[in-house]
């Protein structure tokens, strides 16, 4: 977890009794880069992590890229029972062979319904997509081969519909590619009024299990809870028998 204390200092909560300030983390990274002049990529997936971009900016030897899962006024989310998050999507992209720029964009888009990720690569502590992403294009982290992650991939879901006063609809997903048998397919239904903030955290959202219909070849469920006026953005997931969950 991350946050800002009463003195305005950014910090990480390591456990119930220990904290690590951004200044302390920055000092550790400075010591490493001052000695070895190596490049460093820092990925922070905690609430309000966007505030760490400025706190960890670096102008010394070696390049430092700081990636935050959300803006400085946003919560970070671990959805689908904790299986799907910005960091999970980011590392999935890396081991699939994407460079840092594409892995960031992949994870940012995957979680854009919940939060807005940030990246600083030029050391100014500010996210400027036109400048920062270009600096990490072509930068690869980890093994020189593509490791891959055999998570399911959902090919098609129900398109946009106008209910015009109705409250029910059949939700569906199909064309799900998976190297292993599927364990479950489900849909999360965030209402139009959903607003995430630290004083009113999201504790629960409607989740529908989609059952396979052999007549249509789709995973389907009937939902009759469209009771608010506005646009619903439905989020679909699929999980295989080994616990690997698709990106939304």
Give the pLDDT confidence of 62-92 residue by residue, as tens digits: 899 999 999 999 998 887 666 678 998 898 8
Predicted confidence band of residue 98 (pLDDT cuts 50, 70, 90): confident
pTM: 0.66
* Residues 209-240 pLDDT 10s: 999 999 999 999 999 999 889 989 898 999 88
Stronger pLDDT, 185 or 206, i.e. the higher one: 185
Percent of the chain with pLDDT over 90: 45
Residue 219 tokens, joined: 């995973």
What pLDDT is attached to residue 11?
Answer: 45
Flag whether pLDDT at 96 surpasses 80.
Answer: no
pLDDT grade for 122, boundaries at 50, 70 and 90: very high
Give the alpha-carbon dihedral of 248, 42, 23, 75, to 10 degrees.
Answer: 0
Mean pLDDT of the chain: 84
Instruction: Please state the rounded mean pLDDT for residues 160-185.
Output: 91
Least confident of 57-61, 66-70, 91-95: 91-95
**Which residues have a Cβ under 8 Å from the Cβ of 6 and sit 6 or more positions away?**
none
Give the residue from 178, 184, 43 showing the smallest Cα distance to 119.
43
Crossing angle for the helix pair 129-136 and 100-110, to the nearest 10 degrees:
130
pLDDT in the model for residue 1 = 47
Pairing between strand 64-68 and 10-13? Answer: unpaired
């Amino acid at each position: 977890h991350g946050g800002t204390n009463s003195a305005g200092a950014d910090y990480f909560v390591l456990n119930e009794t220990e904290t690590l300030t951004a200044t302390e983390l920055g000092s550790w990274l400075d010591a490493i880069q001052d000695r070895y002049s190596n490049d460093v990529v820092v990925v922070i997936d905690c609430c309000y992590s966007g505030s760490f971009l400025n706190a960890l900016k670096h102008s010394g030897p070696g390049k430092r890229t700081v990636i935050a899962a959300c803006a400085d006024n946003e919560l970070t989310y671990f959805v689908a029972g904790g299986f799907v998050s910005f960091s999970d999507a980011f590392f999935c992209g890396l081991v699939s062979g994407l460079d840092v720029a594409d892995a960031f964009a992949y994870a940012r888009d995957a979680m854009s319904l919940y939060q807005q990720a940030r990246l600083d690569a030029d050391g100014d502590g500010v996210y400027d997509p036109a400048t920062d992403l270009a600096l990490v294009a072509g930068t690869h982290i980890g093994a020189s081969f593509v490791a891959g992650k055999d998570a399911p991939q959902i090919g098609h879901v129900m398109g946009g519909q106008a209910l015009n006063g109705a409250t029910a609809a059949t939700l569906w997903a199909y064309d799900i590619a998976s190297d292993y048998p599927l364990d479950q397919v489900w849909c999360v239904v965030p209402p139009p009024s959903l607003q995430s903030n630290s004083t009113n955290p999201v504790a629960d959202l409607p989740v529908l299990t989609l059952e396979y219909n052999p007549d249509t070849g789709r995973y389907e469920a009937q939902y009759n809870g469209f009771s608010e006026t506005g646009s619903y953005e439905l989020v679909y997931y699929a999980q295989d028998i080994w616990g690997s969950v698709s990106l939304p």
